[in-house]
Amino acid sequence: MTDDRLLTITANCTGCGACAELQPDYIGWDEEESRPLLLTDVAPDAVVYELQAFCPEDCFDYE
């Protein structure tokens, strides 16, 4: 069972691109800024956990 959670990206982001490659249905990419873009305000628990696990800067948070 999954619960939707609010995603945020903190200012620690270094633009590595891992999140957008990992979850392209939830995370887009701003080519000009070289930064990720949230495509949704919510995502399943499993998606949030995966993003948190792979982001090297601990950028992903949820409520």
Q: Which is nearer to ligand SF4, 1 or 54 (CB)?
A: 54
Tell how strand 27-30 and strand 35-38 pair up.
antiparallel
Q: Can you tell me which of 6, 15, 33, 41 binds ligand SF4, judged by CB under 6 A?
A: 15
Q: Build a one-symbol-per-residue string for 17-56: x at contacts with ligand SF4 by CB under 6 A, - elsewhere.
A: xxx----------------x------------------xx
38-58 core/surface letters (b: 16 or more CB in 10 A; e: else)? beeeebeeebbebbeeebeee
Q: Both tokens of residue 13?
A: 């982001």
Query: Binding residues for ligand SF4, per CB under 6 A?
Result: 9, 13-19, 36, 55-57, 59
